[in-house]
Every structure is written in C-alpha cells, then in structure tokens.
C-alpha cells in the first residue's frame, strides 16, 4: 500500500472513481481515482506513457471506460457528455482539428459557433497576444503555431474547466512564457478549474496548487502542493556511526548521499515526526530544504517503488 495521500477534501470539478481502460493486454488506466478540487490548478504529472492523455480523453468521454464512473462539473460524463463539454476548454496533445483545409480564422469562427458563451473580444485579445496569423490553412501550421490556436479555441468561451494536455509542448521559450502568463491571468480573472497534464513539471510549477502523480495508469497519490512541500524535504546532517532511524518511525527515506562526514537525505514524513528522529545527541541537523516540484515528483515515484 502506498503511503501517499489519495483523498481530497471539498467540492470537486472532476471526480473519477475506479476508472479502468484496457487495450488488449495493455492496461492504460488501472482503477484510476482522481479528485480535482473546484477552482484548483491541478497538475497531473507522470512519465510519458503513464496514462495522462488517456485519462483526459475519458474525462471528456472521447473514449469509453471499461469500468468506473466520472463526474465532470456535476454531470455524469457517461450520460451528459455534451452538456459537460459545453463548459470545458480542451487543449489536446495532438492534431488541432480534422478541418485541415480551413484557414485559421475560419476554424476559430466555426468553433465559436458551438459556444453561446464565446467572448469575441477576449478571443481577439488572445489572438493579438499570441500573435496568431488568421490566413494560413490549418494543415500548414507548425506544432507551435497550432498550439497557439488551440489556446484561443480552449479559452475564449471562458469555460468553467480547462483540460490542458502537455500545454507548453512545441512552444518556443518566449511564447511559452506568454502562454503561462495568459493562463495565470485567465485563472485570476475568471472562475476556472484547470487540470494540467504534463511530464514537463518545471514548465507549470509556478501555477499548480494541487498535485496528482500517475504511474502505469494508476494514481499513486494526490495532495495540495503546500502539503507536499511540507512533507517531502532534504535534510543535511552529521551523525555518529551508531545512529539509526527508528524502525517504527512512519517516514520513508527516498534518497541518500554523502559528502565526507556530512549526509543528505530526502525524507517523506510529517514534519514533526521527521524532526524527532534528528533530535538526539548522536545527530547534528544542519539544514532542511524543500524540494522543487520537479524533484518532488521524481521522489514521489521513487517512494511508490519503495513502499
């Protein structure tokens, strides 16, 4: 059993319970339990092939699960997918549109016609800020150009929920910063829940306030970012050879390194409990450092392997 927390308190914009999907012998989603708090910016992190994109497609009912239930904005997605999608913006990790022969401006107009809440002024602002040329045909766009158009399609109807699959993939550094600034501004200006799926954690580290870790189709932990930062830390210390962590201590040592007499451990555990193991004459605690979110995700995957 994993020691990582998996329950989330309060109202949720997305709730997936025991969602399973198999493709032949491959299990893409393994009893996935996902709870995205209402109003949060939730980072779904994992390696390529972990099931992130599959999870997002099931949340939109673009694929049918073999088992499990999914609720999106209060709708049972298996019965009310159309009504749910009307309140969702989606940036997919893949083809922008099957209408490759359309010019960009025509594609945006076509997309807008499906959303009564489409904000034309906001769309124009996004087009200007992302420096989108409306004249090329969609099929001629580079990956980065298509990505910019996808953000207009996802944001301009001011949805209650945004699903962003590898949102910065294919963007050059300048446009990436512009997009992240737009997303932060969108969340501040309009009540929105965001589910950001990516393996490039450092790209969205500043935005996320909740974190979920997916591995081999299974959610191994989800928690508020502040809880993660308080529970997973690096400890630098000097200890006598006889010093040991008590066997009964509810902590996990994720990583260890040594430099001379000094040791550095990454430890998962409640802060007060961890401090107690360093409270004694045989150990001298020198510093405690929180991990970056990127390092924390790697460590969390290591914890699950060791748990």
What stretch of H or E contains 201? helix 201-204
Q: Which residues are CB-neighbours of 125 under 8 A, at least 6 positions away?
A: none
Q: What share of the chain is helix, strand, coil (3-state, %, to 5)?
A: 30, 30, 35
What stretch of H or E contains 66? none
Bridge partners of 77, per DSSP, are none
CA distance 181 to 70: 30
Q: C-alpha distances in angstroms, 93 versus 8, 40, 97, 209, 258?
A: 27, 21, 12, 22, 41
At 304, the pLDDT band (50, 70, 90 cuts) reads: low
Helix 143-155 to helix 104-112 angle (10° resolution) is: 20
In the chain the domains, ranked by start, together with CATH numbers, are 12-223 (3.40.50.300), 228-306 (3.30.70)
* CA nearest to 248, candidates 231, 228, 229, 269: 269
Q: Which residues are CB-neighbours of 25 under 8 A, at least 6 positions away?
A: none
CA distance 49 to 296: 19
Bridge partners of 42, per DSSP, are 195, 210
pTM of the shown model: 0.91
Mean pLDDT of 62-77: 96
Contact predicate 46/52, CB 8 Å = yes
pLDDT in tens, 277-303: 898 889 999 999 999 998 998 888 876
What stretch of H or E contains 273? helix 271-277
Task: Answer yes or no: is pLDDT of 25 > 80.
Answer: yes
What stretch of H or E contains 204? helix 201-204
Residue 242: per-residue pLDDT: 85
pLDDT in tens, 31-55: 999 999 999 999 999 988 899 999 9
Contact predicate 10/35, CB 8 Å = no
What stretch of H or E contains 302? helix 293-306
CA distance 32 to 37: 16
CA distance 254 to 301: 10
pLDDT in tens, 114-155: 999 999 999 999 999 999 999 999 999 999 999 999 999 999
* CA nearest to 109, candidates 147, 145, 151, 153: 153
């Amino acid at each position: 059993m994993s020691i990582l927390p998996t329950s989330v308190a309060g109202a949720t914009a997305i709730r997936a319970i025991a969602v399973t999907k198999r493709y032949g012998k491959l299990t893409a989603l393994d009893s996935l339990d996902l709870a995205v708090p209402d109003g949060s910016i939730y980072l779904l992190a994992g390696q390529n092939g972990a099931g992130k994109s599959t999870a997002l497609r099931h949340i939109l009912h673009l694929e049918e699960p073999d088992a499990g239930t999914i609720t999106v904005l209060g709708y049972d997605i298996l019965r009310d997918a159309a009504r749910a999608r009307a309140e969702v913006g989606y940036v997919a990790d893949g083809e922008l549109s099957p209408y490759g022969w359309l010019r960009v401006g025509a594609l945006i107009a076509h997309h807008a016609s499906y959303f009564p809440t489409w904000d034309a002024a906001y769309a124009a602002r996004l087009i200007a800020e992302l420096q989108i040329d409306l004249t090329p045909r969609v099929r001629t766009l580079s990956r980065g150009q298509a990505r910019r158009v996808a953000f207009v399609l996802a944001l301009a109807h001011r949805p209650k929920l945004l699903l962003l699959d590898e949102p910065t993939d294919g963007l050059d550094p300048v446009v990436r910063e512009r997009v992240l600034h737009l997303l932060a501004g969108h969340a501040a200006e309009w009540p929105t829940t965001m589910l950001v799926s990516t393996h490039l954690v450092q790209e969205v580290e500043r935005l996320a306030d909740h974190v979920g870790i997916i591995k081999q189709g299974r959610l191994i932990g989800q928690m508020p970012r502040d809880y993660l930062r308080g529970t997973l830390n690096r400890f630098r210390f000097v200890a006598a050879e006889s010093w040991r962590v008590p066997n009964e201590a509810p902590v996990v040592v994720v990583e260890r390194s040594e430099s001379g007499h000094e040791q550095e451990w990454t430890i998962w555990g409640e802060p007060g409990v961890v401090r107690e193991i360093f409270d004694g004459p045989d150990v001298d605690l020198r510093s405690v450092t929180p991990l970056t979110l990127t390092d924390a995700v790697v460590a969390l995957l290591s914890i699950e392997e060791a748990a």
